[in-house]
Amino acid sequence: RKEVEQDPGPFNVPEGATVAFNCTYSNSASQSFFWYRQDCRKEPKLLMSVYSSGNEDGRFTAQLNRASQYISLLIRDSKLSDSATYLCVAPRDGSGNTGKLIFGQGTTLQVKP
Amino acid sequence: DVKVTQSSRYLVKRTGEKVFLECVQDMDHENMFWYRQDPGLGLRLIYFSYDVKMKEKGDIPEGYSVSREKKERFSLILESASTNQTSMYLCASTPPRGRGGEQYFGPGTRLTVT
């Protein structure tokens, strides 16, 4: 099993739609997770952190399900500008103290007018 | 604003050449990383450095070496470039503790080895 696994998509959705991505992880000791966004031909940038209580930032909600070992990212009211690849990320050492991360291969979202 | 810069956006080299990729960050971060990104494989860690002159192998160090002589600069060296090293190379840096999930990436160098 891959350490961090995502459905690569692409997810094609109309503007205004709600879309959700899931990501599974294998290290049950991991305490925190992250979603990064990567635009076409650009570098990844941190979108959100995910801890046990989840996280919400505007139209974006990230949740953690420890029992099933998955993280989700929900995007409400999709905008054209949300089109990007979303990378699910876990710390290599579980605690995140070393700064070393494991990146999923990414889920591509295309929002259509 | 944290800034991570890489020496080239695009690079074309011949098989067997020695290639240097440079990365500089301006935020006094201890930790620096080199990744390569390939379609379907995602980001894979090549090398990691947690301080000047300190380095650690990542998942795919074969064919690569690194140098960290100054805190702000982390260099990736392809000793003898091969066509399977054609890829996007991304450098990143991160503060030492507490915000371990926040890595700041450079714009990337797209290397083609012919």
Interface contact A31, partner B, CB < 8 A: no
For residue B106, list chain A residues with Cβ-Cβ distance below 8 A.
43
Interface contact B16, partner A, CB < 8 A: no
**SS3 at position B93:** strand
Query: CB neighbours (10 Å) of residue B80?
Result: 11
- Angstroms from B52 CA to nearest CA on chain A: 16
Query: CB neighbours (10 Å) of residue B61?
Result: 16
Across A92-102, average pLDDT: 74
Please write down the long-range contacts of B44-53, taking CB distance under 8 Å and 24 or more positions apart: B45/A100, B46/B76, B47/B76, B48/A100, B49/B74, B50/A98, B50/A99
Q: Which of these ranges, A14-18, A36-40, B88-92, B100-104, has the smallest mean pLDDT?
A: B100-104
**Better-scored residue on pLDDT, A29 or A78:** A78
> Quick one: pLDDT band at residue A86, thresholds 50, 70, 90?
very high
> Nearest by CB to A44, which of B31, B95, B105?
B105
Across B17-29, average pLDDT: 95
Q: Is the pLDDT of residue A59 over 90?
A: yes
Q: Give the span between the Cα atoms of A62 and A20, in whole angstroms.
A: 9
Asked if B102's CB is within 8 angstroms of A46's CB, the reply is yes
Q: What pLDDT score was predicted for residue A29?
A: 83
For residue A43, list chain B residues with Cβ-Cβ distance below 8 A.
90, 105-108
Across B24-33, average pLDDT: 92
**Better-scored residue on pLDDT, A12 or A52:** A12
- Angstroms from B105 CA to nearest CA on chain A: 6
As a whole number, the mean pLDDT across chain B is: 93
Across B19-43, average pLDDT: 93
Phi-psi map region of B41: left, alpha, beta (phi>0 left; psi -120 to 50 alpha): alpha
Q: Which of these ranges, A10-14, A51-55, A66-70, B10-14, has the smallest mean pLDDT?
A: A51-55
